[in-house]
A and B are shown apart, each in its own frame.
Chain A
């Protein structure tokens, strides 16, 4: 149980294009999902909290118009990197928690998406 998938696993795009990353909870409903960014040899940095049926909450310093988040169903959240530039290249990871559920404080992570912007 508690499986989270991400698609694609890796993507290479040209500068100026937009890229959509999907995060799915496969065997549970997730009213809340989280999007993280991770640079090489660093820890995870929370970008935003995605809430089903409402607007995402962004962390300080994260541009909401640059990183569009949509959480239209209880099992799917998407992150769109708009007008991507090389500095957006990173490892993007989502997580989800089962709420309500037996252990709502536990977060389960997807396998990550490696974005490379040329």
Chain B
């Protein structure tokens, strides 16, 4: 079952504002992945993190792999309307044969 705690559950922000969300777990992960899902679509990979402490950017997105390997955060800077969607974190345990555990998702709504 789901073992990742993702927060916040939803965010209503104005265009241009920054967004921050995070995931925590009691388990140690060797990989953290962040996905965005639009309605009726499959998740799209945004950022992949492989090392504790790693900070990676993809355009306006920045994500970090927590030092303890039990958490990760995703920031979106200067939000735009197309940032609307559900963002999921996913973690992979060692020796899990590639299986991912997903957070519950963060719904982001951007208003003009």
When the two chains form the complex, which single residue of A32, A57, A106, A112 contacts B33, counting CB atoms closer than 8 Å? A106
Pick out which of these stretches binds chain B: A12-20, A42-50, A62-70.
A42-50
Query: How many residues does chain B have at the interface if contact means C-beta atoms less than 8 Å apart?
Result: 24
Query: Contact: B42 with A109, CB < 8 Å?
Result: yes
Is A54 in the interface zone, CB < 8 Å from B? Answer: no
Closest to B101 in A: A46
Query: Contact: A110 with B31, CB < 8 Å?
Result: no
- Closest CB in chain B relative to A48 CB, distance in Å: 10
Is B105 in the interface zone, CB < 8 Å from A? Answer: yes
Chain A residues with Cβ below 8 Å from B48 are 103, 105-106
Query: Contact: A107 with B98, CB < 8 Å?
Result: yes
Chain A contact residues: over half helix, strand or loop, or mixed?
strand
Q: How far is the CA of A6 from the CA of B105 in the complex (A)?
A: 23
Chain B residues with Cβ below 8 Å from A108 are 45
Query: Contact: B42 with A111, CB < 8 Å?
Result: yes
Closest to B35 in A: A109
Q: Which residues 55-110 of B sit at the A interface, judged by CB distance below 8 A?
A: 88, 90, 92, 97-100, 102-105
Chain A residues with Cβ below 8 Å from B35 are 109
Chain A residues with Cβ below 8 Å from B100 are 34, 46, 107
Q: Which residues 92-106 of A sit at the B interface, judged by CB distance below 8 A?
A: 93, 95, 97, 99, 103-106
Residues of A within 8 A of B (CB): 2, 4, 6, 32, 34, 42-44, 46, 49, 57, 91, 93, 95, 97, 99, 103-112, 114
**Can you list 10 A-B pairs with a CB-CB distance of less than 8 A?**
A2-B45, A49-B97, A93-B43, A99-B98, A106-B48, A107-B33, A107-B90, A109-B44, A112-B40, A112-B42
Residues of B within 8 A of A (CB): 2, 30-31, 33, 35, 40-45, 48, 50, 88, 90, 92, 97-100, 102-105
Can you add 13 more A-B contacts, CB < 8 Å, to A32-B98, A108-B45? A2-B45, A34-B100, A42-B104, A43-B88, A43-B105, A44-B102, A46-B100, A105-B50, A105-B92, A105-B98, A109-B42, A109-B44, A112-B41
